[in-house]
Structure 1
């Protein structure tokens, strides 16, 4: 009888439960909008023409009109004066040139001194408003829930049997 040597070897893998967790994630993005304000200012009008005229300061428009009128009146006056002087030199009671020149040099100038203006400035305004628009802030929220992953590795037992080539002779006993 031949007996063979057999070597037994075994490997045991322990059962495992692998747990992988991913925490939840919350992301918040805010886009700020807020207020939009548009301002249209008041247009103020200040009319000082009557005020300035009452204290003797005239506008350019009025000065030009008065100068044109004064020019017309000066021409009419001078024509009238020349006609009167011509008539004064004629006739029985005629005036001499010296008397006419002396008469011309005596003139009275009207003047007045004013301290308090007669009228006040006129103040008025137009328009003026304010537009206020409110735009809400925008918020974007992204949320991912927690994830739990399980992996189960079952136990295992592996048995290896090896036979060696060497033969062992054992004596056999007989009865």
Structure 2
């Protein structure tokens, strides 16, 4: 079995501060985003949800025993697409983060997140360990794809 390298949001932010700031800004532009998880039978499930940065970490919060939370408990792999916004201009680009969601089960840590979010428990909190961050934009009539993976610098591909 192959082990995939992951990094937490703070580690990504330290490794690639400019790219992390761009990605965070993109997620902050809208409240609702799209999460892809895997169902029990392996088929994909797309769900709307909020992605937040309390305590300077990228986390997902979900209602108790929601299907997406149970999907992540069973198989932590995910992709999270930032809301692309209105129209077709992708105002700020298309941003996606992928990796493994790690459920926060320690009560004291859950309470710290609940306080930072201003939301009462109970709810699931998942920290995101990243395996890939991608931003796609159109610049000067070129498609520009920036990709980051743990242990590697940001890679930029341009296509006309």
TM-score band, normalised by shorter chain = under 0.3
TM normalised by structure 2 equals: 0.19
TM normalised by structure 1 equals: 0.17
Q: Which has the higher contact order (CA 8 A, sep 6+)?
A: 1
